[in-house]
Amino acid sequence: MQQLMQHLLLLYPKRCSFITTSYSEARRVKQNNFSSICHITTHRSNSTHSTNNITNNSAYVRSALSAGPIPYQKGWAWQQVLLNRRMNYMRMQEKQETSPDGKQDKDWILMFEHQPVYTLGRGATEDYLTFLNNEADGGLEKRTRLSRKYRGEDASRLNIDRFQKHNTSGTADNPTAEQDEVDKLSNQSICNRPVLAPNGSPIYRIERGGEVTYHGPGQLVMYPLLNLKQPNYQQDLHWYLRQIEEVIIRTLLHFDIKSNRDDINTGVWVGKNKIAAVGVSASKWITTHGLALNVSPNLEHFDKDIITPCGIEERGVTSISEVLRGTSSDHCPSLNEVADVALKCFGEVFHVDVTEGRPIR
């Protein structure tokens, strides 16, 4: 082994300069061609990612599925409120101040079904809103209002300065204050006149990654708010995306649906058709946004005369209902049934204890 290390150092001194460092330091250069070889020689005595030493955290579920489809901005506001509270807690801990509520430092899993909406990721192009090409002005006015650089009062985006314009002084044990906080943020953040698609669905630019996608009834949306600095996670968004995809793949397999990843495009696929979209964001390694799994949505909302879903022109979109139609398992599970399985798979993949929390109404 020592001879191999010396040989690699002579041939690739820059790429293998981390051979004697810790595993976490070695990961910084994992993109190099020989990183997989060099990882063999790193020691993991202080690694926080070794599966042999994982201690399960808890992730608390907050579900609004019993309420039926909710406005998109309401689900967005729930993410921001819980994120802001946790970040406030962490800032006070760093300053060694007394925290108003230690219960804010939790991992959450939010479960929603949204009313029809289209969303653009933070860097997404408006070109994949294909219906704009048929507008009289080529969609110039709507493209401007959806532009990632536009900050006018009529900007069709969900965005608020979370630390200056929004107060997160409520406590986790006061559901009324919590709901008031969500309602306030939801009302403050929404554009009074959003850009509308031809089918009447609003379109918003948000802070997740990825291109344009659709959310609506019959689609399971899961937003994990995880602190990736915790020992059983990794501070690596590529790792996190692959884990989210694994949750989806295992969930679909429970319903006898074989699915796969794509080498280029994020998400989960059945054949060449996308069955689940994945788009995430992170603030100080706390994640927001997540996955959208098509259970039984109206697939006409993905029509390419309206959008190019996820900006992938040569692929289609499918759902659990569509895949199971005409098979021996010709019964589409309910959204709640899929949610239960997805939460179980989430616990297995992320090594967390999934705990039922207070429902969202």
d(CA 48, CA 232): 7
Residue pair 150/42 in contact by the 8 Å Cβ criterion: no
d(CA 79, CA 91): 18
Residue 240 CB-density burial (10 A; 0-12 exposed, 13-18 middle, 19+ buried): buried
Cα Rg of the chain, angstroms? 22
Cα end-to-end span (Å), the chain: 60
Residue pair 35/332 in contact by the 8 Å Cβ criterion: no
User: Which of the following is catalytic: 16, 191, 310, 345?
Assistant: 310
Residues 6+ apart with CB under 8 A from 122: 148, 205, 206, 207, 208, 209, 281
CA 303 from chain centre, in angstroms, equals 23
Cα–Cα nearest to 19, from 11, 32, 8:
8
Question: Which helix or strand (DSSP H or E) is residue 37 part of?
Answer: helix 35-39
Residue pair 263/269 in contact by the 8 Å Cβ criterion: no
Tokens of 31: 């993109």
Partnered with residue 214 across adjacent β-strands are 118
> How long is the chain?
361
Residue pair 24/46 in contact by the 8 Å Cβ criterion: yes
d(CA 151, CA 146): 9
Residue 201 per-residue DSSP state? -
Strands lying side by side in the sheet with 202-205: 195-196, 202-205, 117-120, 213-215
Which residue, chain included where needed, has tokens 């981390």? Answer: 18
d(CA 227, CA 89): 13
Annotated active-site residue 310? The verdict is yes
Query: Which residues are catalytic, by number?
Result: 310
